[in-house]
Amino acid sequence: MKVGTVALVIGYPEQKASLIEFLSDDREIAIFEAAVLSGEIKPLDVVYLVRNQIKKEDEEFGNYIEELLCRPFVKPEIQEHAVKWLKSKIRVEKYKKAETEAAQVIAGYAFKLFLENPDRKDYFLAGSAAQVRIRVFTLPIVEQTENTPISNAA
């Protein structure tokens, strides 16, 4: 059974716990944790920076593939590989969207559990077919970032 992780980033504006963000990508969680441990003032900004860089690189590669497909004299094998890549990219995007939606539901539930017991910082939620590790990170202040925070997702 694969175990996924959902990390909650909690802030305390006006002394009230607020869900600022949730992370479900293991790489982003590791980047966030490293930023916290290194003393970054706004560790989420580090995650957003890496996320935007990856998105930019994906877009550039997608544009390259699209350009290849638009050329009139590209070998059929290359066109075939490009079409396969595009189909694969679509499947990956659908999977990521479904995963994000599931993580959002899990984060909302885990935030409710956090409000009931703020001492729970690392635990598992288990169902009949899946298990999710919940990690809670608390920040002393709510970060002001370009991304829209998830305020009081409960």
Give pLDDT tens digits along the chain (154 positions). 678 999 999 998 778 899 999 999 999 999 999 999 999 999 999 999 999 999 999 999 999 999 988 988 889 999 899 999 999 999 999 999 999 999 999 999 999 999 999 999 999 999 888 899 999 999 875 444 555 444 434 3
Q: In this structure, are residues 110 and 11 in contact, taking their beta carbons and an 8 Å threshold?
A: no
Residue 32's identity, in one-letter code, is F
**Contacts with 13 (C-beta within 8 Å, 6 or more apart), sequence order:** 141, 142
d(CA 130, CA 119): 24
Q: In this structure, are residues 3 and 14 in contact, taking their beta carbons and an 8 Å threshold?
A: no
Count of all residues that appear for the chain in the document: 154
pTM of the full structure: 0.82
